[in-house]
Amino acid sequence: MRENVPWWKSGILYQIYPRSFQDSDGDGVGDLRGVIERQPYLRELGVDALWLSPIFPSPMEDFGYDISDYTGIDPLFGTLADFDALVAAAHDFGLKIVLDLVPNHTSDQHPWFIESRGSRDSSKRDWYIWRDPKGEGGPPNNWLSEFGGSTWEFDAHTGQYYYHAFLRSQPDLNWRNPEVRGAMHDVMRFWLRRGVDGFRVDVMWHLIKDDMLRDNPPNPDFVPGQQPYEQLIPLYSTDRPEVHDVVAELRQVIDEFDDRVLIGEIYLPPAKLVAYYGRNLAGAHLPFNFALISTPWNARAIAKLVDDYEAALPAGAWPNWVLGNHDRQRIASRLGTDQARVAAMLLLTLRGTPTLYYGDEIGMPQVAIAPDRVRDPWEKNVPGMGVGRDGCRTPMQWDETAYAGFSVREPWLPLSKDIALVNVATERQNTASMLSLYRALVTLRRARPELALGGYRLVSVADDLLVYAREHQDQRSLVALNLGMATISLEVRGHVLLSTFMDRQAEVIDGLLSLRGAEGIVIEP
């Protein structure tokens, strides 16, 4: 079915959290060899690219998002040889490899920062954001860390504060310094030369801060009980106009190599998000669109979101959609198992590149984590706010054995209590399982050019019913989704390509379609 379009445009991304995918060496933590072992499954699922959360050397205070060496592999995950073997195996299977690049900040154990904090005269002092105390010794401004507290940490040795948007052990790099930009560009080239097919850039909208470090204004909509970070509007600490020059330079490095992709993590409304495609589309190929995660699960809200996003896209820009990731509650728990099936059909039939999160294809739930098993530093820093991310990072459930086929010993995070039913081995045997539905949706998307590449047109929206058409040249599909639990009837003619109930294939509809509660259906008119 593939036409002459980039792979990231017609393909499907699959996010792997390496710590939790497959343990090959029996230490209770997933690793690169484990990903290699499970590549036949990924090929069977039908995805096109594997995005790996960070695998670089790290103290693991934020589980890899605090990097101490950008050009190595943490021994927990394996070696550079293991990584090279993974790339080779993936490419042999026809799969792409996308790395998670974290250029906004390093670990405080990175040699760059160790040198930077050594003295005010250090050659790398300006590689990070250092400022004198304000007034009688307070922090330089009022900026707040996303992980709680001030963004400023005082360093007694040099008498200045350094800036950290997240943990104090994650000092932010100074992207106004051309040496920093050059060093990170070289990091990208190191991995691109090893065969990686692109990068997902962590917190892309954070990369440049206000040059005058002005105070952020108070958030007039803040109410007690929200996360402390939301007390202020991050006007001067994120999404600065100059960031687009930085993104354009990252894209230039990507464009030095053939057939690679630049993806940006950007938690902004669609109207602001689309600016990250860059002038003349010379920015990120895919600025991640997370809006479905937070949009109310009703037909009108989703229809409006899609229309607004499509209208905001620059001419020629390619959309993308995300429903789950390593930072957000699992879909099956957020929406319920029945609507999670409808969500799968929505994600894989909207116009644009979809990203799947490991385990969502089998309906893995959010796992409740006992207080003594919490590992997430965000939850530890802001307890009781419900920000903990451990519950969506639990080990992949491969079978119903004691440790779900993930490991031979107790994993680093607890497993779900439902592994007897929600696991790959069991769901492979059930033609109506969540896994079978995902595989059918992926297969259908591959077989139907209009679903992979076609245009989107809203047909109707009312109450719990969302109906849209996908069209490409002379091929057309109609998607009808029931986002409620009551049966809905609609006028339509055609034959059924796929139902989320997996029981109506080839059924002919001649006038009146009865759409069951929490049913989605794809029809060829």
Q: pLDDT tens digits for 347-369?
A: 999 999 999 999 999 999 999 99
Average pLDDT, integer, range 24-30: 98
Domain end among 382, 415, 440: 440
Q: Look at residue 166 and tell me if it is in a domain.
A: no
Same domain, 417 and 475: no
Band the pLDDT of 225: cuts 50, 70, 90: confident
Q: Look at residue 133 and tell me if it is in a domain.
A: no
Same domain, 219 and 358: yes
Report the SS3 class of residue 305.
helix
Share of the chain above pLDDT 70, in %: 99
Average pLDDT, integer, range 142-167: 97
Band the pLDDT of 3: cuts 50, 70, 90: low
What is residue 133's predicted lDDT score, i.e. its pLDDT?
Answer: 97
Share of the chain residues as helix, strand and coil, in percent rounded to the nearest 5: 30, 20, 50
* Strand 13-16 with 353-357, pairing: parallel
Q: Look at residue 262 and tell me if it is in a domain.
A: yes
Tell me which residues are annotated as active site.
Answer: 202, 256
- Token pair 């706010």 is found at 385
Q: Look at residue 30 and tell me if it is in a domain.
A: yes
Question: Are the beta carbons of 461 and 300 closer than 8 angstroms?
Answer: yes
Domains identified in the chain, total number: 2
Q: What residues have CB less than 8 Å from 317, skipping those under 6 apart?
A: 274, 277, 281
pLDDT digits (tens, 9 = 90+) for 244-296: 999 999 999 999 999 999 999 999 999 999 999 999 999 999 999 999 999 99
Same domain, 197 and 77: yes
Band the pLDDT of 458: cuts 50, 70, 90: very high
Same domain, 383 and 295: yes
Q: Look at residue 150 and tell me if it is in a domain.
A: no
Domain end among 382, 416, 440: 440
What is residue 383's predicted lDDT score, i.e. its pLDDT?
Answer: 85
Band the pLDDT of 511: cuts 50, 70, 90: confident
Same domain, 428 and 472: no
Q: What residues have CB less than 8 Å from 481, skipping those under 6 apart?
A: 299, 342, 345, 346, 465, 466, 467, 520, 521
Integer Cα distance of 321 and 7 in angstroms: 16
Is the confidence at residue 378, as pLDDT, over 60? Answer: yes
Mean pLDDT of the chain: 96
Same domain, 200 and 295: yes
Band the pLDDT of 386: cuts 50, 70, 90: confident
Average pLDDT, integer, range 3-20: 95
Same domain, 294 and 417: yes
Same domain, 237 and 292: yes
Q: What are the DSSP calls for 450-466, one per residue?
A: HHHH-EEEEEEEETTEE
Q: Look at residue 158 and tell me if it is in a domain.
A: no
Share of the chain above pLDDT 90, in %: 95
What is residue 13's predicted lDDT score, i.e. its pLDDT?
Answer: 98
Is the confidence at residue 1, as pLDDT, over 80? Answer: no
Domain end among 411, 440, 469: 440
Same domain, 54 and 185: yes
CATH number of the domain where residue 492 is located? 2.60.40.1180
What is residue 164's predicted lDDT score, i.e. its pLDDT?
Answer: 98
What is residue 384's predicted lDDT score, i.e. its pLDDT?
Answer: 79
Q: Look at residue 13 and tell me if it is in a domain.
A: yes
CATH number of the domain where residue 330 is located? 3.20.20.80
Same domain, 315 and 353: yes
Range of the domain at 399: 7-105+178-440
What is residue 35's predicted lDDT score, i.e. its pLDDT?
Answer: 98
Band the pLDDT of 2: cuts 50, 70, 90: low
pLDDT digits (tens, 9 = 90+) for 173-199: 999 999 999 999 999 999 999 999 999
Same domain, 379 and 461: no
Integer Cα distance of 375 and 63 in angstroms: 9
Q: Look at residue 161 and tell me if it is in a domain.
A: no
What is residue 214's predicted lDDT score, i.e. its pLDDT?
Answer: 98
Same domain, 423 and 506: no
What is residue 366's predicted lDDT score, i.e. its pLDDT?
Answer: 97
